[in-house]
Amino acid sequence: MTRSADPRAHPDIALPLAQLLAIRLWARQGQRARIHQARQGRLGRQPGLNFRELRLYQAGDEVRHIDWRVTARLGRPHTRLYGEEQEQAHWLLLDLSPAMYFGSGPQLKARLGCELAAALLWQGEKQANTLVCHGVETRSESQRDSLIPLLEALCHHYEAGLDRAPLPHSLAQTLARLSLPHGARLTLISHHQPLDQELCQQLQRLRLRHDIHYWQIRDPLEAALPEQGQLAVQAGRHSGWLAGEDPRFRARYQRAADEQAEACRQQLLPLVTRLYRLDNGATLQRQWQEAGCRLF
């Protein structure tokens, strides 16, 4: 009797450290494109500066730095103040909850999220980076000299999450426990689902003093059904089938998915500085290189 192969070792599931180290070879391409765009004056602010704080508009403030979303929401003009970029700390919060361990194709959303985290860390290698993995064991890892300990932590927490154990606390509770230094930038990587009220409240609180870059990873099955075959689904005690061969059902499914995606986008836009979406059906390198400075 032969022992079955460990599914964790399958190339579509495993996340070796060497894979995250290799990302360095192309991750900085987005940074170079962003610097070029800044020199061309297309970033909306001066290069070398980053968000420091938000306060009420005062006479003499530059009109181009008015935050129109906050102004519209609060009814009084607010100005965004900027400081030197090299002083800004970067906190990266990666969601490794059970919902991230799903993929209808060759990769899990959690693995794509780890690769994205590694790419962003390589891109900002000279910054003061702190990595927080929201999973079975939520821990913070701060960069010392090398990024390798942070990449090792990514591999460790990713593998621990493969067990899909229930989490001891929510993503909103993890956000509430963060001790972000003044003016730090927060990058949050999570799945593509509507936010609950508690998470929205935490983002709204942090948005007043921090730049928040929010990345949502969307699986192709969350956007549309394949044209052939049936998919078994279960919600609680109820189970059924998604009839992919029925064009009318596929059209209703895609329409509902598009409406949910738009509602989620509208929900997040007032709460974050930048909102991005990654396709779990494509490799990170391809999306990174094709999007260039438009996304990064």
Strand, helix or coil at 35?
helix
**pLDDT attached to residue 275:** 93
Q: In one letter, which amino acid is 143?
A: Q
Q: How many residues does the chain have?
A: 296
pLDDT bucket at 293, cuts 50 / 70 / 90: very low
Q: Are strands 49-56 and 78-84 parallel, antiparallel or unpaired?
A: antiparallel
Mean pLDDT of 6-12: 80
**15-74, pLDDT tens digit by residue?**
999 999 999 999 876 555 544 444 444 444 444 455 667 888 887 777 888 888 888 888
Three-state DSSP state, 66: strand
For the chain, the average pLDDT equals 84
pTM over 0.85, yes/no: no
User: Which pLDDT value is given to residue 272?
Assistant: 95
Give percent of the chain with pLDDT exceeding 90.
Answer: 51
Nearest to 217 by CA among 283, 293, 147: 283
Confidence class of residue 83 from pLDDT cuts 50, 70 and 90?
A: low
**pLDDT one-digit tens code per residue, 227-244:** 877 777 776 677 877 877
pLDDT value of position 29: 64
Q: Where are the beta strands (DSSP E) in the chain?
A: 49-56, 78-84, 89-95, 128-134, 139-142, 185-191, 212-218, 230-235, 238-243, 274-279
**Gap between the Cα atoms of 113 and 95, Å rounded:** 8
